[in-house]
């Protein structure tokens, strides 16, 4: 059910199956089957990601979906050697980038404070910090959205960011931050589950 201004949002607890799908049983994929991923599925992923919270609704993340063999060949050239085969085998790949001029959209996205556009335009340090931090939040949501769509994700940091930028974002406005392989699991797709920190090592209370 969609909500409008007259219908208040009510938080509800995600059931066990939903928690397993998104968190406790979800895995990073290292191989992919030949089953295709459609443009409609990729668009549906973004339709979830766009609701992620960002500071002042700035939404600095931009996504390039690479699906063609020609596009993947161009991308694979800039992946680390250990990631080339995984990216080549994935039916779709999301290149996540930060829009360095995200603030140009502020008058539309945050109309109650349109003057923030000028603040970020004149303050490179604040602009960079805000865009990188909030794009990272959106990237986390993208991984969850891929899982919610019934697909598996393989996020990777092993790539030549400058090379990808030159290949796909030649005007310099977008800066690559993460590459995420997308598809259905292939043969032996999972590494052994690694441990997580114990609560006493990760949590504190005040």
Pick the CATH number of 33-159+176-184 from 3.30.70.20, 3.40.109.10, 1.10.3720.10, 3.30.470.20: 3.40.109.10
Place of tokens 């109650």: 112
The confidence band for 8, taking pLDDT boundaries of 50, 70 and 90, is confident
Q: How far apart are CA 87 and CA 19, in angstroms?
A: 27
Write the pLDDT tens digit of every residue in 60-118.
999 999 999 999 999 999 999 999 999 999 999 999 999 999 999 999 999 999 999 99
Write the pLDDT tens digit of every residue in 142-193.
999 999 999 999 999 999 999 999 999 999 999 999 999 999 999 999 999 9
The tokens of 194 are what?
A: 């690694």
User: What DSSP character marks residue 90?
Assistant: -
Q: How far apart are CA 18 and CA 103, in angstroms?
A: 35
The confidence band for 4, taking pLDDT boundaries of 50, 70 and 90, is low
pLDDT at 7: 74
The tokens of 174 are what?
A: 């977008």
Rg (CA), the chain: 19
Sheet strand arrangement including 174-183 = 61-66, 92-99, 174-183, 152-156
The confidence band for 6, taking pLDDT boundaries of 50, 70 and 90, is low
């Amino acid at each position: 059910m969609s909500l409008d201004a007259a219908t208040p949002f009510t938080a509800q607890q995600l059931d066990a199956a939903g928690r397993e799908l998104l968190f406790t049983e979800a895995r990073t994929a290292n191989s992919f089957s030949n089953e295709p991923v459609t443009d409609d599925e990729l668009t549906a992923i973004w339709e979830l990601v766009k609701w992620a919270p960002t500071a002042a609704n700035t939404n600095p993340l931009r996504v390039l979906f690479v699906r063609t063999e020609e596009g993947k060949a161009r991308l694979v050239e800039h992946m680390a050697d250990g990631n080339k085969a995984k990216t080549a085998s994935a039916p779709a790949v999301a290149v996540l980038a930060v829009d360095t001029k995200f603030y140009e959209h502020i008058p539309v996205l945050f109309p109650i404070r349109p003057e923030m556009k000028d603040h970020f335009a004149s303050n490179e340090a604040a602009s960079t910090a805000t865009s990188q931090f909030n794009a990272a939040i959106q990237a986390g949501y993208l991984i969850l959205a891929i899982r919610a769509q019934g697909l598996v994700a393989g996020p990777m940091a092993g790539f030549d960011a400058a090379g990808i930028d030159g290949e796909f974002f030649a005007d310099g406005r977008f800066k690559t931050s993460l590459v995420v392989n997308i598809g259905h699991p292939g043969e032996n797709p999972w590494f052994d589950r690694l441990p997580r920190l114990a609560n006493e090592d990760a949590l504190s209370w005040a």
